[in-house]
Structure 1
C-alpha cells in the first residue's frame, strides 16, 4: 500500500505537467488546426528564462510569472511570423514549419544558455512528508496543487469567459465565428500565446525536480503529445485526463516493472489506444452525414 501511494502521487505530479502540455497542444490544434511540434520548446524556455531571472537576483515567485509572460510573447511572435503568413497551407507544411520553429528555438537556447544543466530552486521548503505511508517531498505536492489550480482555472476560462467562448467558437466553425464578429486571426495568436504560457508553466514547475537544459523540450513535448492522443485531440478535459493517465502509467511501470521499460510501455499503450480508440479514450467518436 505504501509503494502504491508513492507511485500514485508521483504519477499525478508528473502527469499534471504532461496535462498542461497536452492542453497547449489541444488549444492550438482546435483553434488553428496546427499540430504544434514546438510546444515542448515553450516548456524549455519557461524553465530557462525562470533560471535567468532568479540568477539576476529576482525572487522565484516573481521570476516564474515573468518567464511565463515572456514565453507567451514568444508564442505570439511564432504565430505572427511563422504561422499566420502561411494560413491555408496544407497541414503537412504547417507541421514542418512548427518543427523548424522547434529546432530554431532549441538552437537559440543552446547559444544563450549552453549545454550545462541549470538548477531552479524549489518553490517552497523541500521537506519530506508522509501521506498514507508514502514519503513525498513537499515540492512535488506544491507542484501538483499549483498545476491542479491552473487546470481548474483553464476549465473556467474556456467555459465561462467571453474570450474562452470565442476561442471555442473559432475552433468549431471559423466561418460562423467570423460572421458573429470574432476575429479568427486574432484568436489564432491568442491560442499560441496561451499554449506557450501553459508550456512555460509546465517547464518552470518541473525544473526544480529535474534541472533545465536546452534540449529538455523535445522529450516532454513528445509526452504532452502522447497525453493529447490519449485524451482526444479536441477535448481539454480529455487532455487533462490523458496527461494524468500517462503520468501514472510511467510511475507504476517504473515501480513495478523497470524504469528501463517505462517509455516502451507508455508508447506501447499509445499504439494500443490508437488501434482501439483512435479518437481518444475520453472523447466520443464524431462524424458527419453526407
Structure 2
C-alpha cells in the first residue's frame, strides 16, 4: 500500500506540475491585462507540434528542439497579442476575453491545417526505462517534468524580482495607472506577458506529450485544468497557481487510484467547487 501511495503521489505531482505551468501562463496575462487568455490552451498544443517538427522534420537533437519549440510558441504568442488583440483598441475586459476565445479557435484551426488531425507521439527527453525511487517506479520523463518546473518557477521569481522588465510588469500588475504615469509602456508589458505565457504553455506541451498523445486539440483539456488550477489557487497569484496545480494533480491521481479513473475529473472539479464555495478568491487569492 505504501508503494501504491508513492506511485499515485508521483503521478499526481507530474500532472500537477503541468497544470501549474499552464496556470502560471494564465496568471501572467491576467496580472498585466486583467483578462482570461483562452489562447493559452492552444499554446500547449502548439508546443508539442513544434517539438514534433523540430525532431522529425528538421532532425534536431532533443535539447535544441525543445528550445526551438518553446521559443516558437513565445513568438506565436507575441504575434497573437500584437496583431490579434492590440488592434481591438478597447480596454473592455469582456470584449478582450471573447476575442481570445475567437483567436483560440483560429489558432487551433491553423494547427489542424498544418499538422493534420492524426494523433502523433513524441519521444521522452531521455531513456524511458523506469527508475526506482523510494520503492516507486518512476519514468525519467516524470523527473524531467518536476525538475524543469522547479527551474522555471525559480527563473520566473528571479525575473520578476531582479530584472527591470520584471519589476515593470509587477508595477503594472499592482497599479496600472501609476505605472502609466511614470512612463512604463503598456504595449511592451502586454507583449512580454504574452511571450512568457506562450513559453510556459509551449514548455508544458513539450513535456506532457511524451507521456500522453499529441494532436491539434490536446491542449484543450489540459488548458482547462490549468485554468481550474489557477482558480483553485487564487486567480492571479503565482504561489496559488503552483499550489492549485499540484493540488489538482494529486486529487486526480489519488481519486483515480483509490476510487476509479472514470471519476478523477469529477472528484477534482467537485473539490474545486467546494473550495470556491468556502473561499471564493481561492486558496491563496488576494481580497
TM-score strictly above 0.5 = yes
Give the CA RMSD over aligned residues: 1.1
Once the two structures are superposed, residues 132-176 of structure 1 have per-residue CA deviations (whole angstroms, 9 ceiling, x without a partner) of: 221111121122111111112112211222211111111111111
Per mean C-alpha deviation after superposition, the further-off stretch among 243-252 and 266-275 is 266-275
The one of 140, 144, 147 aligned to 1:145: 147
Offset, 1:86: 2.3
1:64: which partner in 2? 66
The structural deviation recorded for 1:87 is 4.2
Q: Work out whether 1:179 is the aligned partner of 2:177.
A: no
Aligned to 1:115: 117
TM-score normalized with structure 2 length? 0.96
Q: TM-score when scaled to structure 1?
A: 0.95
1:266-277 alignment, distance < 5 Å? 266-277=268-279
Structure 2: state its 5+ residue gaps. none
Residues 71-117 of structure 1 deviation map (CA, whole Å, 9 limit, x = unaligned): 11110011111211224342221111111111111111111111111
Q: Is the counterpart of residue 160 in structure 1 residue 162 in structure 2?
A: yes
1:273–1:87 distance in 2 versus 1, CA, 3 Å: farther
State whether structure 2 residue 112 is matched by structure 1 residue 91: no
Deviations 1:212-246 (A, max 9, x none): 10011211110110010011112111111111111
On the 8 A contact 1:235/1:283 being kept in 2, the answer is: yes
SS in 2 for 1:135: strand
Q: Give the number of aligned pairs.
A: 285
Say whether the 8 Å CA contact 1:60–1:121 is kept in structure 2. Answer: no
Question: Structure 2: how far apart are the matches of 1:177 and 1:185?
Answer: 12
Aligned partner of 1:31 in structure 2 is: 32
* SS of alignment partner, residue 122 of structure 2: coil
Q: Secondary structure at the match of 2:284?
A: coil
Q: What is the CA-CA distance between 1:54 and the residue it aligns to?
A: 0.3
